[in-house]
């Protein structure tokens, strides 16, 4: 080997070594045998599009979210599977498409009066027997799981889903040194807070409220929230809404709520820092679907689906970076497990985009669905790639606008209806109020971000239309989309004759100082508690092996399958 060759090899090795140090891989938990598992904290805002400085909107300042963004990664192409919360939460909690498991209608647990008049009862979706809530899987793998406090999953989660699920739930209540997965939901940005401005529990300066403060409800009674923005704050009004004073006031209220939500984020971050846990916790902030305004929430335009997301890792890996890969809400459950070094179950339809089980390939498409909203139906399916959005409309004989009593409490919605009656809406604003809609729509979201110009009939886009249409058909077939089944019939499939099935009573066997418990209902989980654990807000232990029980001890056991009523509770004494 001559000296020139030796020099070239040396230079090449130095370049390879330098490159390997400059490119940090995606974060995954330490692989050491006795490495301490990382905590995982989810901070969830509601009804919010990317209206914050970290995602390009500087109308108001959000110092706590801006800090998270500076220390973490911003994800710009994250999409809910629905423009409303309940189906979205079903997807997040299970990693399954709601329209494939029958959880696609907006709110199954609490029907509006008009929906009840149509024969739609309060019901729970019965999930396939192998499906568990991801929080239960985290518990089974040693995590203390808390939810503060929304539980709108289209089914009751059961007493094994969380260690704690209440307005008081907090990682601080866990056994010492146990890793936690904690969720805090910030309802302040919800659509209802555009018109209902009374203070609520999450507005407390001690968020979340403390158990030892029994008067916290009295502290809020009769109080209204102030505006946290100037009365003349300049706001951008999307072209599909009129620029009237009432609409501008609503938009200012939306930004005011964002400021308040950011303060709550700051309180939780401070608690994490005060506990010395900031650098041992993965923090994920996101919103449950798009914005609260008319033609945003409930629809499958990006304004209803696209959400901002920030992930901060303990070592601030990739701090300040932007990730534009396509991410769906069904990817959240497997990614959560992957971050905890837990292999996602085979049944999960989403794919981990980070952590120990991160998939090698990125998404080509995201999918979404719309069905019943409160008392009205409108079946739509959507497929989106990095640039184009395809919509398949099944109810072409009706327009997009649905007269929903809940939404019409908002001043902006009332303004739209008033101006429509007076004939004062412009051509863009009229689009939402069409009497019918085409079977197919195609939008170039790069050049038409508000999705106003339908390209489905344009010959220049015939191949893209065909591609996305075929993908929509393939996806619906793959997940066994149940949107074609009338809801009353679907309810009867879950609950024959509209009667909820009941989980079988557990069978208990005693063997040499131990008890073995089983349940004949497929998919049921058995839970148990000792008398010392009888605290109302604390979840039940998950049974997975025989339990030792001395002669003077007793234990309570029961079983539950999601969608079924829980079994009778047995008290066992050896």
Which helix (H) or strand (E) segment is 139 a member of? helix 134-140
CA-to-CA distance for 327 and 317, rounded, in angstroms? 19
pLDDT for 3:
46
**Residue among 404, 189, 386, 374 nearest 288 (CA):** 189
All domains in the chain, ordered by first residue: 39-366 (3.40.720.10), 370-498 (no CATH), 507-573 (2.60.40.10)
CA-to-CA distance for 425 and 116, rounded, in angstroms? 34
| 473 CB-contact burial (10 Å; exposed 0-12 / middle 13-18 / buried 19+) | middle
For 273-299, what is each residue's pLDDT tens digit? 999 999 999 999 999 999 999 999 999
DSSP secondary structure string for all residues of 5-45:
HHHHHHHHHHHHHHHHHHSPPPP----STTPPPPEEEEEEE
CA-to-CA distance for 223 and 227, rounded, in angstroms? 13
pLDDT for 198:
85
Contact between 309 and 69 (Cβ < 8 Å): no
User: Which residues sit opposite 548 in a β-bridge?
Assistant: 514
Q: What is the maximum span of the chain, computed from C-alpha positions, in angstroms?
A: 90
pLDDT for 28:
53
Contact between 497 and 536 (Cβ < 8 Å): no
pLDDT for 131:
98
- What is the Cβ-side half-sphere exposure of residue 433, based on CA atoms within 13 angstroms? 19
Q: Catalytic annotation on 23?
A: no
Q: Which residue has the tokens 């959005």?
A: 389
For 389-425, what is each residue's pLDDT tens digit? 999 999 999 999 999 999 999 999 999 999 999 999 9
pLDDT in tens, the chain (574 residues): 444 444 444 444 444 334 433 344 455 555 444 578 999 999 999 999 999 999 999 999 999 999 999 999 999 999 999 999 999 999 999 999 999 999 999 999 999 888 888 889 999 999 999 999 999 999 999 999 999 999 999 999 999 999 999 999 999 999 988 999 999 999 999 999 999 888 776 677 788 888 888 788 888 887 888 899 999 999 999 999 999 999 999 999 999 999 999 999 999 999 999 999 999 999 999 999 999 999 999 999 999 999 999 999 999 999 999 999 999 999 999 999 999 999 999 999 999 999 999 999 999 999 999 999 998 999 999 999 999 999 999 999 999 999 999 999 999 999 999 999 999 999 999 999 999 999 999 999 999 999 999 999 999 999 999 999 999 999 999 999 999 999 999 999 999 999 999 999 999 999 888 999 999 999 999 999 998 887 767 899 999 999 998 888 899 999 999 999 999 999 998 7
pLDDT for 202:
63
Catalytic residue, candidates 23, 85, 125, 145: 85
């Amino acid at each position: 080997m001559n000296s020139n060759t030796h020099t070239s090899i040396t230079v090449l090795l130095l370049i390879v070594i330098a490159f390997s140090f400059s490119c940090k891989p995606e974060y995954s938990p330490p692989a050491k045998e006795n490495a301490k598992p990382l905590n995982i904290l989810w901070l969830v805002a509601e009804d919010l599009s990317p209206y914050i400085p970290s995602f390009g909107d500087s109308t108001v300042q959000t110092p706590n979210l801006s800090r998270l963004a500076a220390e973490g990664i911003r994800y710009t192409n994250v999409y809910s599977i629905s423009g409303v919360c309940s189906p979205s939460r079903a997807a997040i909690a299970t990693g399954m498409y709601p329209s494939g498991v029958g959880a696609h209608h907006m709110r199954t647990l609490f029907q509006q009066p008009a929906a009840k008049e149509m024969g739609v009862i309060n019901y729970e979706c019965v999930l396939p027997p192998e499906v568990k809530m991801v929080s239960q899987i985290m518990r089974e793998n040693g995590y203390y799981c808390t939810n503060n406090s929304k539980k709108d999953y289209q089914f009751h989660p059961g007493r094994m889903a969380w260690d704690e699920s209440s307005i008081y739930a907090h990682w601080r209540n866990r056994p010492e040194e146990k890793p936690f997965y904690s969720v805090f939901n910030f309802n302040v940005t919800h659509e209802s807070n555009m018109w209902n401005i009374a203070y609520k529990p999450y507005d407390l300066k001690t968020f979340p409220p403390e158990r030892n403060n029994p008067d916290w409800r009295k502290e809020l009674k009769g109080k209204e929230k102030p505006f946290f923005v100037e009365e003349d704050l300049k706001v951008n009004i999307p072209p599909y809404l009129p620029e009237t004073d009432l609409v501008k006031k609503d938009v200012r209220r939306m930004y005011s709520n964002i400021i308040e939500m950011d303060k709550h984020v700051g309180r939780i971050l401070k608690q994490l820092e005060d506990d010395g846990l900031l650098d041992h916790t993965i923090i994920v902030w996101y919103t449950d679907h798009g914005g609260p305004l008319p033609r945003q929430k409930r629809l499958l335009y990006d304004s209803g689906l696209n959400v901002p997301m920030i992930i901060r890792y303990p070592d601030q890996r990739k701090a300040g970076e932007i990730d534009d890969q396509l991410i769906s809400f069904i990817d959240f459950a497997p990614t959560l497990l992957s971050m905890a070094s837990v292999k996602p179950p085979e049944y999960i339809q989403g794919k981990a985009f980070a952590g120990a089980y991160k998939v090698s390939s990125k998404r080509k498409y995201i999918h979404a669905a719309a069905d019943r909203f409160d008392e009205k139906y409108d079946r739509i399916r959507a497929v989106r790639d990095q640039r184009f959005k395809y919509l398949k409309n099944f109810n072409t004989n009706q327009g997009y606008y649905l007269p929903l009593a809940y939404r019409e409490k908002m001043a902006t919605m009332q303004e739209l209806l008033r101006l429509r009656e007076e004939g004062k809406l412009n051509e863009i604003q009229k689009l939402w109020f069409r009497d019918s809609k085409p079977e197919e729509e195609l939008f170039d979201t790069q050049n038409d971000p508000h999705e106003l110009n339908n390209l489905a009939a344009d010959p220049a886009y015939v191949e893209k239309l065909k591609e996305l249409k075929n993908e929509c058909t393939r996806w619906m077939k793959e997940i066994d989309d149940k949107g074609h089944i009338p809801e009353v019939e679907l309810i009867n499939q879950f609950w024959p004759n509209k009667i909820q099935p009941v989980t079988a009573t557990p069978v208990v066997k005693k063997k040499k100082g131990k008890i073995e418990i089983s349940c004949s209902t497929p998919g049921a989980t058995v839970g148990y508690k000792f008398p010392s654990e009888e605290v109302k807000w604390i979840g039940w232990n998950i049974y997975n092996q025989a339990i030792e029980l001395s002669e003077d001890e007793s234990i309570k056991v029961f079983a539950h399958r999601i969608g079924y009523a829980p079994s009778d509770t047995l008290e066992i004494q050896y």
